[in-house]
Amino acid sequence: MNEITLVENQLKRMRSMNKFYHKQFLIDVRFFFILGTFSLILSFNVVEINYILPLISLFGSVILAFHAYYLIFSRNYSEYLEKEINNLLNKDVFITHKLENKYFFPIQDKKIVVAKLGNDFSWFSFVTLFITFYGISLHAYGMYNIFTTLNGIYYFLFIIFLTLVTFIIGYWWFINNEGESRLSRIYDK
């Protein structure tokens, strides 16, 4: 088997991984939207439901970020493989990575998980932020009611701690670019 065939097989594998995690992401977005909205509506009559709203939001954000984590990985690796094939052939045969960088978001730039702000802001970025703010709103509504109506101060503090840990690790990995930095250290060799 020649080098181009080997690289193309890896590219097919990465594109397949990308498709799978996009599909799973969309399934989970719908699931957490329905679960969150249903729980929110129930909370109007059963105030104790507010205890689970922040957990639904946090768990949903971690799961969706987990899918984004694989999408970012597969996009990075796919771009690397496409460039490798183009270099081997001495021409731009594969341009999907260029299209994705312009249409969705530039994979190598700093972003909020997969939302790029500034000149490269896109519909993809808007949808990502929209979903994020829905989760934040659900979380905040539940926390407000836990603190004011249910007087669950210890539970409230526990959720704040869990939220801070989740935010700090998410910031470190995604916004601080730790994940992509690890990949570029390998690609640059």
pTM of the model: 0.87
Please write down the HEC assignment for all residues of 111-142.
CECCECCHHHCCHHHHHHHHHHHHHHHHHHHH
pLDDT mean for each 10 residues of the chain (189 residues): 89 94 95 97 96 97 93 92 94 94 89 89 94 96 93 93 96 88 81
The pLDDT value recorded for residue 144 is 95
Q: How far is residue 27's CA from residue 22's CA, in Å, rounded to a whole number?
A: 9
The pLDDT value recorded for residue 122 is 94
